[in-house]
Amino acid sequence: MALIVGLAFLALLFLGAGLIGFNYLRSLNGKIVSATPSPVVLVVTQEVTLPPTAQPTVLVTLPPTDPPTSRPTSTSPPSPSPTPGLSWGSIGYSVQRRELSVATIGYSGRTAVVVVGSIQGDQTGTRDAVNALINRVNNDKNAIPAGTMFYFIPTINPDGNAANSRYNANDVDLNRNWNTDDWRSNAPVPGYTQGKAGAGGSSPFSEPETKALRDLLQRLQVADLKVIEFHSSVSSPNEIYSAGQNSDGIARIFADTLGYSIEDSWGAYTPTGEMLTWCGEQGIVAIDVVIPQKGIASLDRAFQALIAVAEY
């Protein structure tokens, strides 16, 4: 009996121990399940070659190149502006630093007409005549031929005076200071038919007045240049002198328009160094117009002659 009770006690002891072990395993199994590891993410990179960016296409159109002989070079003057304006400037200065004024009016082009006033400083009639022609041309610009520029110089001897009208401040007769074949320092002048010492200057173009006018004429000589010199006289007015055979045409225009006569000689003394003589030797078309001391009788006729000379 005691043996049976002992075996029963042992069976109960083993059964309790089994239950305790089972419960422990259950609690441990729950903790293992809840500790499941996080998934691993793999990143795979791949080298990708992109196509080059397309550049914009620029089209350039070049002008056609003409052969060197495809067309002739034009010799026509530039097209004139609608209204040529009058402007004043200077070609230089006198011995006493007075300005040698020049008025220009017209169109730049193939023809240049230079109107030179008296070298005699006291000849107000001559200066007034040139100034009147400036106003007359300026008031009738439409009459100026295309490609023609007028240059008006009222006087090249602003230092002259009534007591010494033919000479500049250096006591040189500017009409005798030009480099002609027969220039000499002791040039003949009125009252000194055999010559006056120093009247022609120390050398041709020794004076600033004659050098300034010479330089202007030489610059304009590349064009169709025509020179018209005015001076007044009480002894031989209404006369015209020509620089040479190539100047006879414009001399005839002025003579016919103004009713003047064309003369061959210069009077009682040799015009040594005369600007007109120099122009003839340089091949420049030029005339000298001798007007009465009081001025030109008909400004309209003188204007008509100027326009006709420009067109000649």
Confidence tier at 130 by pLDDT (50, 70, 90): very high
Q: In whole angstroms, what is the distance from residue 289 CA to residue 56 CA?
A: 75
Top-confidence residue, 303 or 72: 303
Q: In whole angstroms, what is the distance from residue 187 CA to residue 189 CA?
A: 6
Top-confidence residue, 63 or 146: 146
Which residues are bridge partners to 148 per DSSP?
Answer: 111
Task: Identify the pLDDT of residue 18.
Answer: 53
Q: What is the mean pLDDT of residues 60-84?
A: 41
Token pair of 149 as six digits: 């520029």
- Contact in structure between 83 and 120 (CB atoms under 8 Å): no
Task: Identify the pLDDT of residue 111.
Answer: 96
Q: What is the mean pLDDT of residues 174-178?
A: 92
Task: Identify the pLDDT of residue 99.
Answer: 95
Task: Identify the pLDDT of residue 166.
Answer: 81
Examine the pLDDT at 25 and tell me if it is beyond 90: no
Task: Identify the pLDDT of residue 48.
Answer: 43
Task: Identify the pLDDT of residue 35.
Answer: 43
**CATH no. for 87-306:** 3.40.630.10
Task: Identify the pLDDT of residue 171.
Answer: 92
Top-confidence residue, 184 or 234: 184
Maximal C-alpha separation, the chain? 198
Confidence tier at 269 by pLDDT (50, 70, 90): low
Q: Which residues contact 272 (CB under 8 A, 6 or more apart)?
A: 176, 180, 182, 183, 184, 187, 188, 200
At 90 the three-state DSSP class reads strand
CA 167 to chain centre: 36
Token pair of 265 as six digits: 């000689």
Q: In whole angstroms, what is the distance from residue 124 CA to residue 34 CA?
A: 132
Residue 120 identity (one-letter amino acid): Q
Task: Identify the pLDDT of residue 52.
Answer: 47
Token pair of 254 as six digits: 């002025």
pLDDT tens profile 214-229: 999 999 998 899 999 9
Confidence tier at 71 by pLDDT (50, 70, 90): very low
Of 3-17, 35-49, 138-152, 255-269, the range with the lowest mean pLDDT is: 35-49
pLDDT tens profile 188-243: 888 888 899 999 999 999 999 999 999 999 999 988 999 999 988 887 789 999 99
